[in-house]
């Protein structure tokens, strides 16, 4: 990751352990259900505008027009129908799937005499590789973009290439929601997606940035929600404590939001933006042919 190597992260469970040590009496009485505060932490990540999420590529099954999304899916970047599969054995890749530019004999001669936006890219200029167990690789020699329903846009990243399609000439329409995609016109088949993950590690644990100017904002946000839940479900009056925690959270938020000029935070945003733009620029010409 280069210059971001010094930025540290902790898991949601590590953050909760710190909170529970401060709220010891509630934790000791088994009044803390960690699952209730995942949404709170995600909200803080969103509030801070931290987009350090990983990007993944996968090939998914289409069954009865439906596609189950990966558990760590957050935003779609690219969706392509996989066509003309060819199977063969190769050394297994660390990635489940990959979209790569391929030397296309049809376009190669044309591009030798063309420049800039005049260069041609056809459906055979890119190949999708799906890596399966037992060293089995499936190469999809043609790819077909799909357009999206308008309500799907909220599940797309800023640079999602499929949002470029608005014409009725695109035959297949993909509807995206939190856990399921529905593809109109294709009952069975395969679809490649590139997506931005939820902010999790390889074990699926939710992550937060471990930064001294951010930690209080995370912790007070959780404590605030914890006391709100306690106030709603118990007879004890914790309104005074809740008022104090709210004040502390608001102060911590101001401090957290003011670190946007610090090198660490700026590097996070620069790194994330560079990844998004690199992806967009790499595959943009694929879409120009339509």
Report the alpha-carbon distance of residue 147 to residue 278 in Å, rounded. 22
Say if CB 237 and CB 262 are below 8 A apart. Answer: no
**Residue 150 pLDDT level (bands cut at 50, 70, 90):** very high
Mean pLDDT of 248-269: 76
> Which of the listed ranges 183-197, 201-215, 268-282 does the model predict with the highest average pLDDT?
183-197
Nearest to 191 by CA among 83, 80, 87, 85: 80
Say if CB 190 and CB 73 are below 8 A apart. Answer: no
Mean pLDDT of 4-22: 82
- Pairing verdict, β 97-101 and 9-11: unpaired
**Residue 153 pLDDT level (bands cut at 50, 70, 90):** very high
pLDDT (tens digit, 9 = 90+) per residue, 156-166? Answer: 987 788 888 77
pLDDT for position 1: 35
> Is the pLDDT higher at 158 or at 253?
253
pLDDT for position 257: 84
pLDDT for position 53: 66
Write the DSSP symbol of residue 92.
P
**Residue 118 pLDDT level (bands cut at 50, 70, 90):** very low
Residue 2 region by backbone torsions, left for phi larger than 0, else alpha for psi between -120 and 50, else beta: left
pLDDT for position 275: 60
Report the alpha-carbon distance of residue 160 to residue 58 in Å, rounded. 16
**pLDDT of 264 over the 70 cut:** no
**Residue 192 pLDDT level (bands cut at 50, 70, 90):** very high
- Kindly report the pTM of this predicted structure: 0.61
pLDDT for position 47: 82
Q: 90-99, 106-115, 257-266: lowest mean pLDDT where?
A: 106-115
Tokens 């995609």 locate to: 181
């Amino acid at each position: 990751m280069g210059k971001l190597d010094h930025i540290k992260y902790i898991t949601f469970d590590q953050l909760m352990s710190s909170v529970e040590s401060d709220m010891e009496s509630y934790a000791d009485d088994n009044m803390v259900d960690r699952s209730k505060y995942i949404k709170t932490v995600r909200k803080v990540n969103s509030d801070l505008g931290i987009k350090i999420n990983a990007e993944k590529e996968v090939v998914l099954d289409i069954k009865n027009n439906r596609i189950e999304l990966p558990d760590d899916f957050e935003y779609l970047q690219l969706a392509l129908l996989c066509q003309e599969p060819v199977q063969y054995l190769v050394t297994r890749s660390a990635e489940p799937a990959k979209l790569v530019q391929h030397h296309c004999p049809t376009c190669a001669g044309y591009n030798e005499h063309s420049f800039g936006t005049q260069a041609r890219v056809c459906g055979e200029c890119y190949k999708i590789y799906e890596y399966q167990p037992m060293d089995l690789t499936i190469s999809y020699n043609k790819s077909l973009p799909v357009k999206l329903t308008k309500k799907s846009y909220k599940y797309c990243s800023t640079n999602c290439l499929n949002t470029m399609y608005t014409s009725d000439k695109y035959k297949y329409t993909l509807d995206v929601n939190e856990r399921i995609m529905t593809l109109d016109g294709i009952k069975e088949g395969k679809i490649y997606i590139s997506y931005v993950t939820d902010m999790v590690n390889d074990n699926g644990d939710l992550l937060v940035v471990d930064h001294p100017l951010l930690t209080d904002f995370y912790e007070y946000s959780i404590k605030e929600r914890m006391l709100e839940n306690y106030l709603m479900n118990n007879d004890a009056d914790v309104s005074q404590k809740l008022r104090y925690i709210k004040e502390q959270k608001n102060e911590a938020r101001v401090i957290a939001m003011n670190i946007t000029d610090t090198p660490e935070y700026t590097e996070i945003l620069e790194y994330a933006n560079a990844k998004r733009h690199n992806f967009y620029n790499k595959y943009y010409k694929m879409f120009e042919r339509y």
